Amino acid sequence: MPLLEAPTGATYGWRGRIGFIQPGAVAENNPFEFYLMAPPGVTLVMTALGHSGPLNQAAFDLMLANIDEAVERLLVRKIDAIVVAGVPHIASKGWGYEDVIRQQVAKLTPLPLVTDLGLCIDAMTALGLRKVAVLTPFDDPMHRLLSDYVGHAGITVAGAKSIRPSEELYEEISFVPLANVYRAAKAVFQAAPGADGVWITGALMPTVGVIAALEQDLGVPVVTSMQAMAWGGLRAVGVRDTVTGYGRLMTMA
């Protein structure tokens, strides 16, 4: 990654300020993993939809109802683009709901808006993936929703596995060791004949530290939610650096 020198007096984010709307009330892994991958001069400006507790339709609906307020908070911070993190709340509404959110937010700002789920699809498409093994912190009903959603984009889920501790302890997924993520992703891929890649979704779960090892050991591309959001967020603000060490996707400008 080239070292770019900031102009005298530049603020953080002098190349791009990515507004980031996270689902939960608290997150440590999202900003940490973003800055592992981010090139110089790019800042993540974060706000939250405030979710805590079980993942269910009532929670998804409440998160979606709070998006306008979250966008308005970000606009005060002079952002250049918006990333909406999280896949369950969008997948729960079915194919095409990303466009509903874009139309809704377009009433507040003309800034580009991208979503976690949409960027994962874009990333898998860019890498030529058509049949993926999926690792998540979600349950089987959500796996079926995700399979249906990406199926509309021509991507088949060959197998899905969850490493979610429990419904009541969903937030505990942020503490899962990277070794567990690596081994679970490897296992789900090996149990999915014909899979041409791995998709790890659920950005609360740490992932980017194992991408390079998984790609090396499995011989296929790996897409994770936080990686895809970093890649797509950078493109949305017009920053085209290639970043090494975090998978093939991040080397695609």
pLDDT in tens, 220-236: 999 999 999 999 999 99
CATH classification of the domain holding 141? 3.40.50.12500
Q: Per-residue confidence at 169, pLDDT binned at 50, 70, 90?
A: low
Across the chain, how many H-helices and E-strands are there?
Answer: 10, 8
User: Is 198 part of a structural domain of the chain?
Assistant: yes
27-63 pLDDT per residue, tens: 889 999 999 999 999 999 999 887 666 677 677 777 7
Whether residue 31 contacts residue 203, with contact meaning beta carbons closer than 8 Å, is answered with no
Q: First CA to last CA across the chain, in angstroms? A: 12
Domain annotation covers residue 106? no
Q: Is residue 8 predicted with pLDDT exceeding 80?
A: no
Residue 51 lies in a domain: no
Q: Is 129 exposed, middle or buried (0-12, 13-18, 19+ CB in 10 A)?
A: buried
Reported as a pLDDT band with limits 50, 70 and 90, residue 164 is: confident
Model confidence at 211: pLDDT above 50: yes
State the average pLDDT for the chain.
91
Instruction: Give pLDDT, residue 34.
Output: 96
How many domains does the structure of the chain reveal? 1
Q: How far apart are CA 192 and CA 112, in angstroms?
A: 36
CA distances from 72 to 68, 98, 139 (A): 6, 18, 32
What is the C-alpha to C-alpha distance for residues 202 and 146, in angstroms, rounded to an integer? 12
Query: Looking at this protein, which amino acid is placed at residue 229?
Result: M
Asked, for residue 194, whether it belongs to a domain, the answer is: yes
Q: What is the pLDDT of residue 167?
A: 57
pTM for the full predicted model: 0.92
Name the amino acid, one letter, at 115: T
In whole angstroms, give the CA distance from residue 210 to residue 247: 9
Domain-located, residue 150: yes
Residue 32 domain flag: no
Within 10 angstroms of residue 91's Cβ, the number of other Cβ atoms is 24
Domain that holds residue 132: 119-226
Residue 106 · residue 138 · CB < 8 Å? no
- Cβ atoms of residues 41 and 14 within 8 Å: yes
Asked, for residue 62, whether it belongs to a domain, the answer is no
* 8 A C-beta contact, residue 200 and residue 222: yes
232 burial level (CB within 10 Å; 0-12, 13-18, 19+): buried
Whether 73 maps to a domain, the answer reads no
Place of tokens 């800055």: 35
Mean pLDDT of 128-151: 95
CA distance 149 to 213: 28
